[in-house]
Amino acid sequence: MNQALLRQIPKMDLLLDHPLLADLCQRTSRAAVKAAIQETLQQLRRDIADGSVRSVPDPEQLCRQILSGADTGCHLRRVINATGVVLHTNLGRAPLSPEAADNLSRIARGYCNLEYDLDRGCRGSRYDHVEELICRLTGAEAAMVVNNNAGAVFLMLNTLARGKNVAISRGELVEIGGSFRVPEIMEQSGARLVEVGTTNKTHPRDYEAAMEEKGATVLLKVHTSNFAIIGFTESVPVDTLSRIARAHEGLTLYDLGSCFQFPCEYLGLHEGESAAQALSAGADVVCFSGDKLMGSAQAGILAGRKALIDQIRRNHLTRMLRIDKLSLAALEIALRDSLDPQTAIRKIPTLRMLAMTREDCRTQAQDLCRQLCGLGFAAEVIDTDDEVGGGSLPGLRLPSAAAAVSCDFLTASALEKVLRSQEMPIISHIQKDRVLLSPRTFCEGDLQQIVSVFAALSQKEADSR
Ligand SMILES: *Cc1c(COP(=O)(O)O)cnc(C)c1O
């Protein structure tokens, strides 16, 4: 460890009484500023220890660092996703469009008619705001929205399948995101699981047998999301499933997990079923996430036959899973944008990212490389494959390009760490001793932000020489 550097770190009291921080002490508290200084100094010690910092910033620089970090002082922070994983669950899945974020902020700043009927001047329902939009998008008779899709699946089963035998293919008894396990959700909802078929193949006759011989009255289909079975596989499409269910006076429920609001061909993709397709194929109720391919706020959307949706609404457990006004504010904008596929792809960040071609990625990666080379870094464009993420469209590779960056004064892992410890952290992957920055997942202004971080890095290195 570099003892000489560690000794150069300014004393706490010197920083705490620094004129630059006086205002912050006034605005917050001396204790809060002390904690912020402590954190900054500890980070500095760690950075010196692992060699990622080789000169100690002067007290003024440190104060500015603390000031900029104290902008929000929040633990939950905006980060730059340079991983190329579009629906990165660890990074908050879908970023909102500027319009959706503006609407959310507008609603947040005051009161709203969340449960107030403006025409009649009396109590209204929070479920009314987006029902018509969802019905227009999916062709459903009725719809409602809850906190997330896990909640939607639970409510759907708890309301429509409690105490009933529910047939599901063994190939669809999946675990999603580590904590959502289909068999366990079914059990907790009070539905009785009737497994049919095998892991790789399930036939129509398996469902028929479940209804005729094992007393199943509900057929459940679950999109396998983060899991693909390849080779000799067979699953029963929802139109066949619903035909079997109808013939036995049963229900077909479908957890789509992640789905586009329009035929996926618009994005040049050939996978995935939309809610509209599933409903027109005969599903009685479908549910899906608001913040996967829909590209909006966290939400679980339920759509289907009116009598069934009404029943779900009346379930007391709905109260525990209700959607909040901020998600609703963002969701309404995304639903409106989704009415027209071209508008959706232009406006919804997730869809715009998915629609990027390798050529689009290359153009941005080239721009980034040019600027980074200008700052003295080694950077070149390489072809990569990005992922959709979020347990959507497994196995689908998005042909992409990224900037592969290295420098002579930091190892790839030290560089990755420096990027990650910025005020606006940059999250990247390492490949073959280089840091990969994938432009597919950049949001507005991210590219320039990355360049300015590298500029500061090269300046700091020059100063320390
Ligand atoms: C993602 C997913 C869920 C859970 O949805 P959340 O919105 O994360 O709660 C449930 N079922 C399927 C099939 C999924 O893909």
Task: Tell me what pLDDT residue 121 has.
Answer: 97
Q: Which residue, 332, 331, 244, is CA-closest to 284? A: 244
Q: Are 403 and 437 in contact (CB under 8 A)?
A: yes
Ligand 1 centroid from CA 460, angstroms: 45
* Tens of pLDDT, residues 248-257: 999 999 999 9
Task: Tell me what pLDDT residue 174 has.
Answer: 83
Q: Where are the alpha helices (DSSP H) in 216-357?
A: 238-247, 275-280, 306-314, 325-338, 341-347, 349-355
pTM of the model: 0.84
Residue 229 has pLDDT above 60, yes or no: no
Ligand 1 probe mutation, 147, 222, 258, 291, most atoms within 8 A of CB: 258
> Which residue has a Cα nearest atom 1 of ligand 1?
257
Ligand 1 centroid from CA 112, angstroms: 29
3-state helix, strand, coil in the chain (%, to 5): 45, 20, 35
Ligand 1 centroid from CA 245, angstroms: 24
Ligand 1 probe mutation, 169, 176, 221, 227, most atoms within 8 A of CB: 176
Interhelix angle 325-338/98-108, rounded to 10 degrees, is: 150
Compute CA 314 distance to the chain's CA centroid, rounded to the nearest angstrom. 29
Ligand 1 centroid from CA 214, angstroms: 28
Question: Of all atoms in ligand 1, which is nearest to the CA of residue 289?
Answer: 7
Task: Tell me what pLDDT residue 242 has.
Answer: 97
Question: Of all atoms in ligand 1, which is nearest to the CA of residue 177?
Answer: 1
Question: Of all atoms in ligand 1, which is nearest to the CA of residue 300?
Answer: 7
Average pLDDT over residues 63-92: 85
- Of 24-33, 91-100, 140-149, minimum mean pLDDT range: 24-33
Task: Tell me what pLDDT residue 49 has.
Answer: 87
Residue 1 has pLDDT above 60, yes or no: no
Residue 31 has pLDDT above 90, yes or no: no
What φ, ψ does residue 22 adopt, rounded to 5°? -60, -45
> Which residue has a Cα nearest atom 2 of ligand 1?
257
Instruction: Identify the DSSP state of 384.
Output: E
> Which residue has a Cα nearest atom 14 of ligand 1?
257
Question: Of all atoms in ligand 1, which is nearest to the CA of residue 255?
Answer: 13
Residue 46 has pLDDT above 60, yes or no: yes
Compute CA 378 distance to the chain's CA centroid, rounded to the nearest angstrom. 32
Task: Tell me what pLDDT residue 262 has.
Answer: 79
* Band (394; pLDDT cuts 50, 70, 90): low
Task: Tell me what pLDDT residue 260 has.
Answer: 82
Q: What angle do CA 408, 410, 413 make, to 5 degrees?
A: 130
> Which residue has a Cα nearest atom 5 of ligand 1?
149
Residue 398 has pLDDT above 60, yes or no: yes
CA dihedral (36, 41, 43, 48) in degrees, to 10, reads 170
Pocket-forming residues, ligand 1, beta carbon under 6 Å = 148-150, 153, 176, 180, 222-223, 225, 255, 257-258, 289, 300, 391
Q: Round to whole Å and give the CA distance between 18 and 15.
A: 5
Task: Tell me what pLDDT residue 232 has.
Answer: 67
What φ, ψ does residue 127 adopt, rounded to 5°? -80, -10
* Band (265; pLDDT cuts 50, 70, 90): confident
Task: Tell me what pLDDT residue 71 has.
Answer: 57
Q: What angle do CA 155, 158, 162 make, to 5 degrees?
A: 165
Residue 447 has pLDDT above 60, yes or no: yes
Task: Tell me what pLDDT residue 271 has.
Answer: 66
* Tens of pLDDT, residues 350-366: 999 999 999 999 999 99
Average pLDDT over residues 193-209: 93
Q: Using CB atoms within 10 Å of the CB of residue 249, give its burial: 0 to 12 exposed, 13 to 18 middle, 19+ buried.
A: exposed
Task: Tell me what pLDDT residue 70 has.
Answer: 62
Q: Round to whole Å and give the CA distance between 7 and 14.
A: 14
Ligand 1 centroid from CA 341, angstroms: 23
Residue 214 has pLDDT above 70, yes or no: yes
CA dihedral (236, 242, 243, 245) in degrees, to 10, reads 110
Q: Cβ contacts of residue 250 below 8 Å, gap of 6+? A: 211, 216, 217, 218, 219
Q: Are 121 and 421 in contact (CB under 8 A)?
A: no
> Which residue has a Cα nearest atom 13 of ligand 1?
257
Q: Are 337 and 351 in contact (CB under 8 A)?
A: no
How does the average pLDDT of the chain come out, rounded?
A: 92
Q: How many other CB atoms are there within 10 angstroms of residue 179's CB atom?
A: 8
* Tens of pLDDT, residues 161-184: 999 999 999 999 988 776 788 999
Concatenating the DSSP letter of every residue in 20-80 gives HHHHHHHHS-HHHHHHHHHHHHHHHHHHHHTTS--SPPPHHHHHHHHHHHTTT--SS---E
Q: What is the number of residues in the chain?
A: 465
% of residues, the chain, pLDDT over 90: 71
> Which residue has a Cα nearest atom 7 of ligand 1?
149
* Tens of pLDDT, residues 403-438: 999 999 999 999 999 999 998 999 999 999 999 999
Question: Of all atoms in ligand 1, which is nearest to the CA of residue 299?
Answer: 7
* Band (231; pLDDT cuts 50, 70, 90): low
Task: Tell me what pLDDT residue 463 has.
Answer: 86
Residue 267 has pLDDT above 90, yes or no: no
Question: Of all atoms in ligand 1, which is nearest to the CA of residue 174?
Answer: 13
Q: Put residue 350 in one of left, alpha, beta given phi > 0 → left and psi -120 to 50 → alpha.
A: alpha
